[in-house]
A and B are shown apart, each in its own frame.
Chain A
Amino acid sequence: MKILVTAKRVIDPDMKIQVKPDGSGIELSSMSFKINPFDEIAIEEALRIREEKGGEVIVVGIGGEKTITEIRAGLAMGADRGILVNADNDADSDAVARILARIIEHEKPDLVLLGKQAVDVDDNQVAQLLAEHLDWGQACFASKVECGDGRARVHREVDGGIEVVEIDLPGIISADLRLNEPRYPKVSDVLKADRKEVREITPEDLGVDVSPKVVIKKFVEPPQRQGGRLVADVDELVRALKEAKAI
């Protein structure tokens, strides 16, 4: 099977995010970056399917030049080759989906695996948008994937429990947290990844207009909670809750 997966470069989710004083953006200096955690899960799943069925795994990243690091991270996990779409870092989710749709028209994969959500913008949109742009089936928030003949059976994490669906292949799957535990690449695999092919293209090469449908006008810090009062025991807690009219 030929599987296409995505890798977004995001600020390390463990870092403290700060808004620039003028609200025009996020402080990026001194930030470290990594591959979006959901994308690691998507790549891991693609590798497992390839290990079982054979085929090829292609990692696509869209962003500035530095996105090569996250593509290499996917290659170090074991993906075969990469595509870097050198676009402005703030291509919105729809632009990303349209870029991916064009690449998919060229590459013709049997399956496309994405993360369910980029943990920077927290959109949770690209997989669904992409499925519509391609007119393919979608199984989002996957916690289990089994590829059969021309179809994939997917367990979806939904409100109310698990929904089991089948999608025709080619199709789109987005990975949720419990799909698998991504592997750590060995040092030798990291070295090998440097020699794997990464093709660089631009949205213009693909004929995609990346002007955003959704524009961020301003960033602000959320209101901070005034917390931190400790109570000595359960009695004091109950009294405090009564005073606060919480019970």
Chain B
Amino acid sequence: MSGICIVAEHWKGELKRSTLNALTFGREAAEKLGVDLSLIVVGSNVSHVADQLKFYGAAKIYVIDDPQLEHYTAETWGHAVAETSKACHAKIVAMSFGTTGKDLMPRVAAKLKAGMASGILSFDGHSFTREMWAGSVIAEVEIKTEVQVVTVQGTHFVPANPVGSETPIEHLSISIPRGRTHFIETREARSDRPDPTEARFVISGGRGMGEAGNFTLLEEIADIFEGAVGATRAAVDSGWVSNDLQVGQTGKKVAPDLYIAVGLSGSIQHMAGMKNSKVIVSINKDEEAPIHGIADFGLVADLFKAVPELSQALKKELN
């Protein structure tokens, strides 16, 4: 008998780290409600992903491993997740707040006739909190349905650490209906760098970067910290960097230990995605730029001079 189900997010056969943040929510919720925590792994050839989850203190890992689930679609995965949730009598079904969770979980909620809260920040055993209006407001929400579905904003839950005992794995076989959505291909963005949501250091560039090539200035600093590069909508719209680097209200929410904002003004929409970072540095030539107002340390300077200087200084400092 289970109460909380966490759906694992994985990519190219590996567990996504954001699942560990969702797991922390799951553990906390299970404790608050005095119920079990279960994990759900859906896909094809996912035994390695299930193995990666074995030592996180869950009561059970349910695996639906089916060639028909090789390529994610909300319809097929949604069916598998909803059926599994029913089988384990889930009260709360949760997933990380990546594009898969955002696409999938409402579909799961509709299948389970559940109310859903997107991107939750906390749970007190009764209500959830979540951001609205680009993070200008935090709402306390109550989901009135018996089964509840949420996506978990990773910035507010630390990644879970492994614990002692091993969780048993149970394979379920569920017949998967033919969907009306057909996978064609993935056009992968270059990805030799961590995802901004997973990195402890993020350096983001905005319109001030001027062109795609100038992002190498930021990459040089990201390399020092093995960190991630992010961007504003303006930089993504210009085609300078991949869409999945957009930080903000309608992109990714990040909260690294150190966030350096370069050549970006600090729109409400951008700040919604990074204002929970531990330390924020802004580099912008305009003293009036709103980003300086929320930065711990603001440097009013031309980025093309300041960023290479900073890169040198950091290398010297950290070697």
Contacts and interface: CB of A to CB of B under 8 A. Distances in A.
A129 interface: yes
A22 interface: no
Interface residues of B, number: 87
B179 interface: yes
Contacts of B275: 225
Contact of A234 (B287, B298, B306): B306
Interface residues of A, number: 81
Interface in B275-319: 275, 278-281, 287, 292-301, 306, 309-310, 313-314, 317-318
A246 B236 contact: no
A129 B117 CA distance: 13
B37 to A, nearest CB: 23
Contact of B107 (A138, A161, A162, A235): A138
Interface stretch (B56-64, B84-92, B128-136, B164-172): B128-136
A40 interface: no
A166 B184 contact: yes
Interface in B203-255: 233, 236-237, 242-244, 249-250
A161 B140 contact: no
Given A125-B116, A132-B107, A217-B142, A137 B180 contact: yes
A124 B100 CA distance: 12
Nearest to A153: B184
A128 B116 CA distance: 12
A234 B314 CA distance: 10
B237 A244 contact: no
A147 interface: no
29 contacts: A11-B133, A13-B134, A26-B137, A94-B109, A119-B133, A122-B118, A122-B132, A124-B106, A128-B110, A133-B110, A137-B179, A138-B74, A139-B181, A158-B100, A159-B195, A161-B191, A161-B243, A163-B187, A165-B73, A165-B183, A178-B243, A213-B115, A214-B116, A217-B140, A219-B132, A220-B140, A228-B298, A230-B298, A237-B297
Interface of B: 11, 73-75, 78, 98-100, 102-107, 109-111, 114-119, 127, 131-145, 179-189, 191, 195, 233, 236-237, 242-244, 249-250, 257-258, 268-269, 275, 278-281, 287, 292-301, 306, 309-310, 313-314, 317-318
Given A16-B136, A153-B184, 7 more contacts: A17-B137, A120-B133, A137-B179, A159-B244, A161-B189, A213-B115, A247-B317
